[in-house]
Amino acid sequence: MIGPIVLESSNNTVNFQGGNWLQTIDTSSGSLGINTRGAPFVVAGSIISGFQVAVLDPTTFALADRSLTNFTGEISENAAGPLRRHECGRGRWGAGLCRRAEFSCRRPGAGGIFRHSLGSDVVCLRRASGARQGGGSGPVVTTPPSGEATAMSDKSNSFAATGSARVSF
Amino acid sequence: MRRQCAGVLFFLAMLASSPASAQFMCTPPTSDPLTCTNSGNAPTLFTNTATGTNQNATTTNSGTASGFASQTTGGGVATATNSGSNIANGILAQTGAGGGNATVTNTGNDTGIGHAFSDVVALTLVSGDAMASNSGTIGDANAGNFSFLEARTQGSGNATAINSGSSTGGVVAETLGAGNASASNSGTTAGNVAAETMGAMPRRPIQVGPAGVAAATMASGNATATNSGSASGVAAATFAGGNATVINSGTANGGITVAALGGGSATLTNILGGR
């Protein structure tokens, strides 16, 4: 919701029917009735600056609403994941981090995707030619012709790594 | 000479059955309802007028029209429906001195030419309810045309405007006399509409809107604006009594105004999902 919220009468009421809200409401008369149907809320402010109302809805209805929003956001972010792909040595992945990624990918039992200490995800990809690096049973970091390992930044495409184990640095 | 007279008589006969355009074909003038339809190309503005007592007027376009109207003066119902393409001058359903309800419906495309608006309007001048609904397209924002959907009563009667399609200029319901005004949007509005102050004097000047959805009563009656779609703003106002209510479960990107300046109450209801 963008723009002012103005209520002007001798009897102003705002109803909140589910959901979490933070609204600033301007009322010239200064009286404002609030009905949240039992949800906890806080009112702050004044006639001049406007009443600020915060409503916290603990029910699953609000959760469902936000979950839907988050789900949509996750889809969007995941779809954009490949666009944020970084290659070691070229993006923000420094040489040290790449070495750690390669080391982790070589560890026995390491999955194809894991989260490093900065909160980003690393994807270990197999070399297209099928050649393996480091041996062992663990996955490997792809080594492009330039010799650089490939990793994916945070918000990586988890769909592509479905089934992979996730380990932490 | 005889052939010329026959030609003139034929032309006059055509005028009687089709008052303004050869493309809108009408039933006999005394029929009830007096029905005119166009499924072809009507290049000029067309008006279907029923003057008989309680005689109804129905005008329908499923082709291409350049504006058309239904009106009654003897108390009948005026109905205008577009399921085709109306490219200019708007669509109007209007009742006059005899009263009667007015209903306008657009399920097709209604676009103006450039900035020349082509509004879709239901209007009662004396009494009767006004109902305007759109599930099609009104206006063309890309061309700078912000035509709107409006229901308006100037005497008595309720005004209801419902948009489930796209109305670039907004959705407005307004009563100048007694009667409730209700405007609802579950589609999209991109433009601005503002309730006017006529007759009743507000306590102090207030601009109701700009809002994509606006309901206003100037004399008495309640005003309710409901948005569950996407609107540039939502407003409800009563200027001389009556309650003003806004119900929002959609997206309002132009603010919300709820004003009851004549002693009623102002209520805003936020429903889960509102943004």
At A63-74, the pLDDT tens digits run 666 555 555 545
Cα dist from A164 to A150, B45, B109, B176, B180, whole Å: 17, 68, 52, 67, 62
Q: Which of B90-99, B214-223, B236-245 has the highest mean pLDDT?
A: B90-99
Q: Tell me what the pLDDT averaged over chain B comes to.
A: 84
Q: Quick one: average pLDDT of A22-51?
A: 81
Residue A103: the pLDDT is 66
C-alpha B148/C-alpha B140 separation (Å) is 10
- For A:1-20, CB contacts with B below 8 A are 1-19
Query: Lowest-confidence range among A43-52, A120-129, B217-226, B264-273?
Result: A120-129
| DSSP symbols for B202-242 | PSS---EEEESEEEEESSSS-EEEEESSEES-EEEEESSSS
Q: pLDDT band at B192, cuts 50/70/90?
A: low
Count of A–B CB contacts within 8 Å?
93
Which chain B residues are closer than 8 Å to A16 by Cβ?
269-270
Tokens 């309800």 sit on residue: B101
Residue B191: the pLDDT is 63
Q: pLDDT band at B251, cuts 50/70/90?
A: confident
Judged against a pLDDT cut of 80, whether residue A98 lies above it is answered with no
C-alpha B267/C-alpha B60 separation (Å) is 39
Q: Is A54 on the interface with B (CB under 8 A)?
A: no
Q: Which tokens sit at B132?
A: 């305007």
Q: Is B256 on the interface with A (CB under 8 A)?
A: yes
Which chain B residues are closer than 8 Å to A9 by Cβ?
244, 258-261, 264-266
User: Distance, in angstroms, between B212 CA and closest chain A CA?
Assistant: 13
**CB A2 to CB B252 under 8 A?**
yes
Q: Which tokens sit at A34?
A: 């609030």
Which chain B residues are closer than 8 Å to A14 by Cβ?
267-270
**CB B255 to CB A13 under 8 A?**
no
Judged against a pLDDT cut of 50, whether residue B42 lies above it is answered with yes
User: Which residues, in sequence order, are CB contacts of A67 under 8 Å at separation 6+?
Assistant: none
C-alpha B24/C-alpha B38 separation (Å) is 5
Closest residue in A to B261 (Cα–Cα)? A9
Cα dist from A26 to A1, A23, A118, A130, whole Å: 15, 10, 43, 66
Q: Which of A79-83, B36-40, B113-117 has the highest mean pLDDT?
A: B36-40
C-alpha A41/C-alpha B258 separation (Å) is 22
Residue A105: the pLDDT is 62
Residue B7: the pLDDT is 40
Q: Quick one: average pLDDT of A33-46?
A: 85
Q: Give the DSSP H/E element, type plus range, for residue B104.
A: strand B102-106
Judged against a pLDDT cut of 60, whether residue B196 lies above it is answered with no
A96, A90 Cβ separation under 8 angstroms: no
Q: Give the DSSP H/E element, type plus range, for residue B25.
A: strand B25-26
Q: Quick one: average pLDDT of B141-156?
A: 89
A134 versus B86: which is more confidently predicted? B86
C-alpha A83/C-alpha B124 separation (Å) is 58
Q: pLDDT band at B130, cuts 50/70/90?
A: very high
Judged against a pLDDT cut of 70, whether residue B107 lies above it is answered with yes
A109 versus B92: which is more confidently predicted? B92
C-alpha B60/C-alpha B83 separation (Å) is 8
Residue B193: the pLDDT is 56
Phi, psi of B39 (to 5 degrees): -125, 5
Q: Quick one: average pLDDT of B157-165?
A: 95
**CB A1 to CB B252 under 8 A?**
yes
C-alpha B244/C-alpha B264 separation (Å) is 7
Residue B131: the pLDDT is 98
Angular region, B54: left φ>0, alpha ψ -120 to 50, beta rest: left
Task: For chain B, give the number of residues.
Answer: 275
Q: Quick one: average pLDDT of B68-80?
A: 97
User: Which residues, in sequence order, are CB contacts of B249 under 8 Å at separation 6+?
Assistant: B227, B228, B270, B271, B272, B273, B274
Q: pLDDT band at A41, cuts 50/70/90?
A: confident
* Straight-line distance from the first to the last Cα atom of chain B, in angstroms, rounded to the nearest whole number: 74
- For B:198-227, CB contacts with A below 8 A are 206
Q: Give the DSSP H/E element, type plus range, for residue A62.
A: helix A60-79
Q: Quick one: average pLDDT of B40-54?
A: 95
- Burial of residue A113 (CB within 10 Å: 0-12, 13-18, 19+) is buried
Judged against a pLDDT cut of 50, whether residue B208 lies above it is answered with no
Residue B8: the pLDDT is 36
Which chain B residues are closer than 8 Å to A11 by Cβ?
260, 264-266
Judged against a pLDDT cut of 50, whether residue A111 lies above it is answered with no
Q: Give the DSSP H/E element, type plus range, for residue B255.
A: none
Q: H-type helices in B60-152, by residue range?
A: none
B134 versus A71: which is more confidently predicted? B134
C-alpha A91/C-alpha B32 separation (Å) is 77
Q: Is A63 on the interface with B (CB under 8 A)?
A: no
C-alpha B202/C-alpha B200 separation (Å) is 6
Residue A44: the pLDDT is 84
C-alpha B190/C-alpha B229 separation (Å) is 11
**CB A10 to CB B265 under 8 A?**
yes
